[in-house]
Structure 1
Amino acid sequence: MITDNQTNFLYLADTLLKLYPDFYQRFEQTLKEAGIEHSLLPNTKDVWAVDYMPIQVTRDEFVQFVYNPSYLQAKVWQKTISNVDSICTSINLQPKKSNILVDGGNVVKAKNKVIMCQRVFTENPHIPEKKLIKELQELFQVDQLIFIPTQPKDFTGHADGMVRFLDEKTVLINDYSKEKKDFQLLVKSALHNAGLDWVEIPYNPYSNKKDKHANGIYINFLQMKGTLVLPVFGQKEDEETVKLFGQLFPNVSIATVDSNEIALEGGILNCITWNIMT
């Protein structure tokens, strides 16, 4: 599996520039200063590129899952589903297709492991659980699939707002100390049973006015080869988070970008980026 810290080229949806021009300008400047090359995916219908674009498994192999999640079934949201076939053709990509329904935001990658929220099972009720696990393992070409509980009130059911890999044996998780004890135990038990250790990072979405708002969720960062871009929100945790990441990633350049506009729509930096190894 190609990991985020191996990727060297970034794509953004062209809708990002149209819908969030001020954020796009700031983000583009951050990318430029970090030396990250990027291009725009054409004819997209929403900004959440990681969710609908294929998963890169090896340098030359990509898997395209079905993007038709339960939370987009209302007619008003169906029109926001991009034509992935057309986008892939426009960038000369021919991915392997799967009939499994998976959002890219629910695929957190290490070299030989993938973490997903359990939402993947309810999104694919027509596939027996054991068969689904086996097929996903084969498609991802990993030995271990790890399933964590979906965070309450997260309408997307994505893992990238909950956990990210620090290395093959350690993950970063949100500081869920203010969440219900049962949920905390379920998350940590799933990681422990998978043989993973964890480091808690700042987490403060508690002043948000709506459940969908993602302001204060720092774990949804962009990671590429040699660079990590953290979202910041003008909260007291910003400085603490930047300092902690400098300690956790001592050989990586850490950049930040104010991400409040897109966070209000429910996603942050990993959600809007599709970074690959070329």
Structure 2
Amino acid sequence: MITDQDTDFLYLADTLPKMYLAFYKCFERTLNEAGIEFYLLPNTKDVWAVDYMPIQVTRDEFVQFAYNPSYLQPKVWQKTISNVDNICTSINIQPKKSRILVDGGNVVKATDKVIMCHSVFTENPNVPEKQLIKELMELFQVDQLIFIPTQPKDFTGHADGIVRFLDDKTVLINKYTKEDKGFGLTVKTALHNAGLDWVEIPYNPYSNAKYKHSNGIYINYLQMKDSLILPVFGQKEDEEVVRLFEQLFPKLKIATVNSNELAYAGGILNCITWNIKL
């Protein structure tokens, strides 16, 4: 499996500068300063590129899952589903296609394992669970598929706002407090049962006006071969998170970008980025 730390080229949706121009300008400047080369995916209909673009399994192999999640079924949202076939053709990628419904935001990758939320089962009710697990493991080409609970009220059911891999044996997880503390315990239990250790990182979305707002969720960062870009929000946790990530990733260039505008829409950096290994 190609992991984030293997990737060396970044794609963003061409809708990003159209929909969130102020954020885009800041992000573009941060990427340029970090020396990260990027390209805009053509003819997209939404900014959340990681969800609809294929999963890179090896350098030359991509898997394109069906992208038609339950939360986009209302007619008003159907028009936001991009034609991935056309996009892939335009960038000379020919992925293997799967009938399974999977959002890329629900695929958290290590070299030999993948973490997903239970939502993948509810998104594919007509596929028996054992068959679904078998097919996913074969498509991902991994030895272990780990399932964690879906965060309550998260209509997307994505794992990339809950957990990320530090290395093949350790993950980063949100430091849940208040009403989320019980949920955090169930996540830790699932990780422990899978043989993984964890490090907690600051997490503070509790003052957000709406549940869908992602302000204060730092785990949805962009990681590539030489760099890691953290979202910051003008909160007291910003500085603590930067110091912690400098310790956790001493070989990477750590940069930050104010992500409030994007977070109000419900997503952050991993959501909008499709980074691959060329």
Bucket of the pairwise TM-score, normalised by the shorter protein = over 0.9
CA 1:155/1:239 → structure 2, altered by over 3 Å: closer, same or farther? same
Could you tell me how far apart the structure 2 residues matched to 1:168 and 1:265 are?
Answer: 31
CA apart distance, 1:184 = 2.3
Runs of 4+ that moved beyond 2 A? 177-182
The equivalent residue for 1:274 is 274
Matches within 5 A, 1:225-236: 225-236=225-236
Q: TM (normalized to structure 2)?
A: 0.99
> Which residue does the alignment assign to 1:118?
118
Which residue in 1 is equivalent to 2:103?
103
Matching residue's letter, 1:50: V
Give 2:52's aligned residue.
52
Q: Distance in 1 between matches of 2:138 and 2:194?
A: 19
Shift of 1:90: 0.7
Task: For residue 43 of structure 1, give the secondary structure of its aligned residue in structure 2.
Answer: coil
SS in structure 2 at match of 1:254: strand
| Inter-partner Cα distance in structure 1 for 2:134 and 2:43 | 34
Could you tell me which residue of structure 2 aligns to residue 159 of structure 1? Answer: 159
- 2 CA distance for matches of 1:251 and 1:85? 37
Let me know the Cα RMSD of the aligned residues.
0.7
Counterpart residue number, 1:38: 38
Aligned 1:13-24 pairs, distance under 5 A: 13-24=13-24
1:181 and 1:121 map into 2 onto residues whose CA distance is: 24
Secondary structure (helix, strand or coil) at the match of 1:39 reads strand
Q: How does 1:149-188 map to 2 (within 5 A)?
A: 149-188=149-188
Give the match for residue 144 of structure 2: 144
CA distance in 1, matches of 2:161, 2:235: 18
Structure 2 match to 1:69: 69
Match of 1:88 in 2: 88
- Where structure 2 has 5 or more consecutive residues not aligned to the other structure, the ranges are none
Contact 2:228–2:253, Cα closer than 8 Å, also in 1: yes
SS of residue paired to 1:206? coil
| Superposed displacement of residue 181, structure 1 | 4.5
Which blocks of at least 5 consecutive residues in structure 1 are unaligned? Answer: none
Query: Which residue of structure 2 aligns with residue 265 of structure 1?
Result: 265
- Aligned amino acid, residue 3 of structure 1: T
Aligned length: 278
1:130 maps to 130
Q: Over residues 17-52 of structure 1, what are the superposed CA-to-partner deviations in whole Å (9 max), with x where a residue is unaligned?
A: 111111111101100000000000000000000000
- Partner amino acid for 2:228? L
Percent identity between matched residues is: 81
Q: Does 1:12 align with 2:7?
A: no
Q: Which amino acid aligns with 2:158?
A: H
Match of 2:9, as an amino acid? F
SS state of the match for residue 254, structure 2?
strand
Q: How far off its partner does 1:11 sit?
A: 0.1
Matched with 2:210 is: 210
Measured in 1, the distance between the counterparts of 2:177 and 2:267 equals 22
2: distance between equivalents of 1:260 and 1:161?
A: 15
CA 244–181 in structure 1, closer or farther in 2 if over 3 Å, else same = closer
Instruction: Give the letter aligned to residue 37 of structure 1.
Output: E
Partner Cα distance (2:186, 2:133) in 1 = 20
C-alpha separation in 1, matches of 2:242 and 2:130:
40
CA distance in 1, matches of 2:160, 2:185: 19
* 2-structure distance, mates of 1:151, 1:248: 25
Question: Which residue in the other structure is 2:29 paired with?
Answer: 29
Task: Please give the secondary structure, in 1, of the residue aligned with 2:179.
Answer: coil
